[in-house]
Amino acid sequence: MPSIRELAKRESRFVSGHRLCAGCGAGIVMRLVLLAIDKPVIASCSTGCVEVASTIFPYSSWKVPWIHSAFENSASTISGIEAAYNVFKREGKIEKEIVFVGFGGDGGTHDIGFQALSGAAERGHNVLYICYNNQAYMNTGIQRSGATPKYAHTTTSPVGKVIPGKIQWQKNLVEIMVAHGIPYAATSIPGRWNDLVNKVEKAIKINGFKYIEVLSPCRLGWPHEPELTMEISRLAVETCLWPLYEVFEGKYKLTYKPKEKKPISEWFKLQGRFRHLLLPQNTQLLEEIQKEIDRRWENLLRKCEEI
Amino acid sequence: MEKKMTWKELPIGDILKGGTSLSFKTGNWRSKKPVHLPEKCINCFICWISCPDDAIIVDAEKGKWVSFNYDYCKGCGICAYECPKKAIEMKEEVEK
């Protein structure tokens, strides 16, 4: 894996001047992913924060060929480009090695773009798909998505007398992608740059469909202090809510194990959307979540053969 | 701060040139400003890799921290928070 100084020698391919919020996690994710790839890249992006903030007409923050066509089809767009590339290669019209990367937010991946993603995975295109998961439709005004955690406040699952935030659990899309039988699936965070760079680097060497889901803290929608973006993503790992693991050829491996598992309230107290869970009348809800996180964590440890 | 294009300069067919957002300066979003303390800096580049706006300039060949790019820095404070040596301080942005 390249050191931070070696990465600094590479050209930045996601440049300044984009209009993501100050302290946006997705900006860090885009930079890190492109820095980790030392080959030419073609990228597609579904509608979402990154798309609207990085390609506001007539500006683009991307120094790689980049395409947006719709909300739901980042995965199928990049599949089509990869298929065209294969034809050109077969006909001897193109020589160079190109890495194909599809980007999507959690809305464009878990919900709206799911059938495109599933199809691309099933067809086995040689594509790396990166989901920057900020756990709601942040770009349109913080509406709940399939990736929003239980009891989180969003504008379409408002905390009040009727409901205590979103009443369903979030999807575990990494497991769904593993079930597709793809060669590589992993989770990551921006807060551990070496973890993300390592996984991207590993993924692009594998032939087939690769999926990496990166937790991307949203200072506007979660909301939290902008300087805490990296810390809050690390805390999600320390509380075992967002374990760092990879599944290579069906084999689970924990890539980071917290020394001491922190209670989930540590993660909640930094975010406005979970503030109600820390009130004394809601201890039952907090316990319910902690219990489920413990169960999922143990389940994962068993899969990784750690226990 | 923004340099607006005339209709003659606008790209045709929604095909944008790469990296053109560099001509859109986001530095005026800032309410707090990072200030570098060179005596504490160990040139680890953690701030550079943590910046969502690519607004920290480093000299990779010499392994030296160079400067903030205040044209784009939005003042989120991640660099100051992440710095292992507390070599970056956030100060109130004041009108000159």
Q: Is CATH 3.40.50.11540 the right assignment for the domain spanning B32-92?
A: no
Model-level ipTM above the cut of 0.85: yes
Residue B1: predicted pLDDT: 47
**B7 to chain A: closest CA residue:** A58
Mean pLDDT by 10 residues, chain A (307 residues): 93 95 96 96 96 93 95 96 97 96 96 96 97 96 96 96 95 96 97 96 96 97 96 97 96 96 96 96 96 96 92
Please tell me the distance from the alpha carbon of residue A107 to that of residue A71, in angstroms, as a whole number.
Answer: 9
- Tell me, yes or no, if A176 comes closer than 8 A to chain B by beta carbon: no
Considering only CB atoms, which chain B residues are within 8 Å of A16?
21-22, 26, 53-55, 69, 71-72
Interface contact flag, B24 A59, Cβ < 8 Å? yes
- For residue B43 the two structure tokens come to 């040139």
Q: Which residue has the tokens 């599944």?
A: A247
Residue B5: predicted pLDDT: 78
Distance from CA of A307 to the nearest CA of B (A): 33
Residue B94: predicted pLDDT: 83
Query: Helix axis angle, A229-238 relative to A25-36, nearest 10°?
Result: 80
Residues 6+ apart with CB under 8 A from A16: A61, B21, B22, B26, B53, B54, B55, B69, B71, B72
Residues 6+ apart with CB under 8 A from A249: A183, A184
* Predicted confidence (pLDDT) per residue in B10-45, tens digit: 888 878 889 999 999 999 999 999 999 999 999 999
* Exposed / middle / buried, residue B67 (Cβ in 10 Å: 0-12, 13-18, 19+): exposed
**B43 to chain A: closest CA residue:** A5
Residue B3: predicted pLDDT: 66
Residues 6+ apart with CB under 8 A from A304: A245, A252, A253, A254
Considering only CB atoms, which chain A residues are within 8 Å of B72?
16-17
Could you please report the per-residue DSSP string of chain B? ---PPPTTTSPGGG-PPTTGGGGS--GGG-SEEEEE-TTT-----HHHHH-TT--EEEETTTTEEEEE-TTT-----HHHHH-TT--EEEEE----
We report the CATH number of the domain holding residue A33 as: 3.40.50.970
pLDDT at residue B52 tops 50: yes
Please tell me the distance from the alpha carbon of residue A183 to that of residue A29, in angstroms, as a whole number.
Answer: 22
Q: A23 near A229, Cβ under 8 Å?
A: yes
- Cβ burial A57-95 (10 Å sphere, 16+ → b, else e): ebbbbbbbebbbeebbbbbbbbbbbbeebeeeeeeeeee
- Tell me, yes or no, if B86 comes closer than 8 A to chain A by beta carbon: no
Please tell me the distance from the alpha carbon of residue B52 to that of residue A16, in angstroms, as a whole number.
Answer: 8
- Tell me, yes or no, if B95 comes closer than 8 A to chain A by beta carbon: no
Interface contact flag, B54 A230, Cβ < 8 Å? no
For residue A48, the enclosing domain spans 4-303
Interface contact flag, B29 A227, Cβ < 8 Å? no
Q: What are phi and psi of B73, to 5 degrees?
A: -55, 125
What pTM value is reported for the model? 0.95
Q: What is the CA radius of gyration of chain A?
A: 19
**B22 to chain A: closest CA residue:** A17
The count of structural domains within chain A is 1
Pick from A17, A25, A193: CB nearest B21: A17
Sorted by where each begins, the domain ranges of chain B are: 32-92
Residue B96: predicted pLDDT: 55
Please tell me the distance from the alpha carbon of residue A163 to that of residue A145, in angstroms, as a whole number.
Answer: 16
